[in-house]
């Protein structure tokens, strides 16, 4: 396996990162089976594992910790995230120093380790000064509890601001970004990915299969639904024009994959792996079968003709469904911010 360098850190990571959101109550409740999936990924050469405190309310981190206890911890590049609400306490969430310091200690205990390789801010927090966040993360680096830190689903302007603040305030800086990216969700090609290249940030992109849309389970004549439909209905509701467009694109992409003698999964992962800004797409298997269907992508290299055809089906920089972007700025989500007080 040809390992890739994570941004400018010098750390070598596998081209695929194992995501563990589906381990625990949100996906596979059987801890032993989840651990077997993790070990199979490690045996296949994957050395990059990503989780988050909010996944199944900490259960995913606990499962990862159990799996790591059965292997050589130093060989694994371990990433987790902070931001999501962990209970009813209004201060047990967000990007404040108070919560980051507390959440890190809790993640370390659940993971059964004394350090985290990559600690990521899961989403922006407009009500928290970015210098507050960077200051807390810098202290965690200097105390040895984390090695590096990164952002997740940050818009391009927030990425730039964080870099500038870090330089001016003498803070450590975000070394990675974790954005949504797939053949159906390409908006970050216009701004986020170029900024990551500008600042030499590593990119571990999430949802390369577009929440299952590119798994082979969607297309003409299929059920076109997902077990996640109840959790995120806007991603799958076929009355929404964006999802109708996705179905049309998936049908064309399926024909392209067949013509190239590839599975839809291989086409989808091969597309993300091809972008020069992307270090490692995150795969999120729920079952061993899912993992085995994704591992062959490590051997895939898409031709220029195939990539050109993908661009024709879904133009570069396009998000077919705006609901798939993962985070909407308050200026868009809150109509009161666009209206003068009365």
Query: Does the pLDDT at position 298 exceed 80?
Result: yes
Structure tokens at 12: 């070598």
User: What's the chain's average pLDDT?
Assistant: 96
pLDDT of residue 252 exceeding 80, the answer is yes
What is the model's pLDDT at position 222? 80
Please say whether the beta carbons of 186 and 18 come within 8 A.
no
User: Of 81-95, 123-137, 224-238, which gets the smallest average pLDDT?
Assistant: 224-238
pLDDT mean over 153-170: 98
Q: Is a pLDDT exceeding 80 seen at residue 225?
A: no
Report DSSP letters for 306-327, one per residue: HHHHHHHHS-TT-BSSGGGGS-
What pLDDT does residue 342 have?
A: 86
* The two three-digit tokens of residue 307, written as one number: 């990539």
Q: How much is the pLDDT for 281?
A: 98
Q: HSE-up of 68 (CA within 13 Å, CB side)?
A: 28
Strand order of the sheet with strand 77-82? 202-203, 176-178, 146-152, 116-121, 77-82, 48-50, 17-19, 282-283
- The pLDDT of residue 1: 82
Phi, psi of 12 (to 5 degrees): -95, 125
Average pLDDT over residues 270-295: 98
The whole-number pLDDT of residue 113 equals 98
pLDDT at 156: 97
Query: Does position 292 have pLDDT exceeding 80, yes or no?
Result: yes
Determine the pLDDT at residue 231: 78
Tokens (6 digits) for 330 = 């308050």
C-alpha distance from residue 170 to each of 104, 132, 167, 185, 246 (Å): 22, 13, 5, 35, 44
Average pLDDT for 84-101? 97
Question: In Å, what is the CA distance from 24 to each residue of 32, 46, 196, 286?
Answer: 10, 21, 32, 9
Q: How far apart are CA 27 and CA 194, in angstroms?
A: 34
Q: 24-28, 218-222, 249-253: which has the minimum mean pLDDT?
A: 218-222
Q: What is the pLDDT at residue 55?
A: 97
What percent of the chain clears pLDDT 70, i.e. is strictly above it?
A: 100
Whether the per-residue pLDDT at 220 is higher than 90: the answer is: no
Catalytic residues: 55
List Cα–Cα distances, 210 to 53, 214, 252, 323, 324, in angstroms.
22, 6, 15, 12, 8
Q: Which two tokens stand for residue 83?
A: 């931001």
Distance separating alpha carbons of residues 112 and 64, to the nearest angstrom: 9
C-beta atoms surrounding 173 within 10 Å? 19
3-state percent breakdown (helix, strand, coil) of the chain, nearest 5: 45, 10, 45
What was the pLDDT predicted at 98?
98
């Amino acid at each position: 396996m040809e390992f890739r360098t994570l941004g400018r850190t010098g750390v070598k990571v596998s081209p695929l990162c194992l995501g563990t959101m589906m381990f625990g109550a949100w996906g596979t409740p059987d801890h032993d089976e989840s651990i077997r999936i993790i070990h199979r990924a490690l045996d296949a050469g994957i050395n990059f594992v990503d989780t988050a405190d909010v996944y199944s309310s900490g259960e995913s981190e606990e499962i990862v910790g159990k799996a790591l206890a059965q292997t050589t911890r130093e060989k694994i590049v371990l990433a987790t995230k902070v931001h999501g609400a962990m209970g009813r306490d209004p201060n047990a969430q967000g990007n404040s120093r108070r919560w980051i310091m507390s959440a890190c200690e809790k993640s370390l205990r659940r993971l059964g380790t004394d350090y985290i390789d990559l600690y990521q801010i899961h989403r922006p927090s407009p009500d928290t000064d970015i210098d507050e966040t960077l200051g807390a993360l810098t202290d965690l680096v200097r105390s040895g509890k984390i090695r590096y830190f990164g952002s997740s689903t940050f818009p391009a302007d927030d990425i730039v601001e964080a870099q500038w603040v870090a330089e001016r305030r003498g803070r450590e800086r975000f070394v990675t970004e974790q954005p949504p990216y797939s053949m159906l969700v390409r908006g970050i090609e216009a701004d986020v990915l170029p900024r990551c290249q500008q600042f030499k940030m590593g990119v571990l992109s999430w949802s390369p299969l577009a929440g299952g849309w590119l798994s082979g389970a969607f297309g003409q004549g299929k059920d076109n639904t997902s077990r996640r439909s109840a959790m995120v209905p806007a991603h799958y509701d076929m009355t929404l024009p964006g999802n109708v467009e996705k179905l049309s694109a998936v049908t064309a992409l399926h024909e392209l994959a067949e013509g190239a003698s590839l599975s839809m999964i291989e086409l989808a992962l091969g597309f993300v792996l091809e972008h020069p800004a992307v270090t490692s797409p995150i795969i999120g298997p729920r079952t061993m079968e899912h993992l085995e269907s994704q591992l062959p992508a490590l051997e895939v290299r898409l031709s220029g003709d195939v990539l050109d055809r993908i661009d024709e089906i879904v133009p570069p920089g396009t998000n077919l469904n705006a609901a798939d972007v993962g985070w909407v700025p308050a200026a868009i989500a809150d109509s009161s911010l666009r209206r003068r007080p009365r």
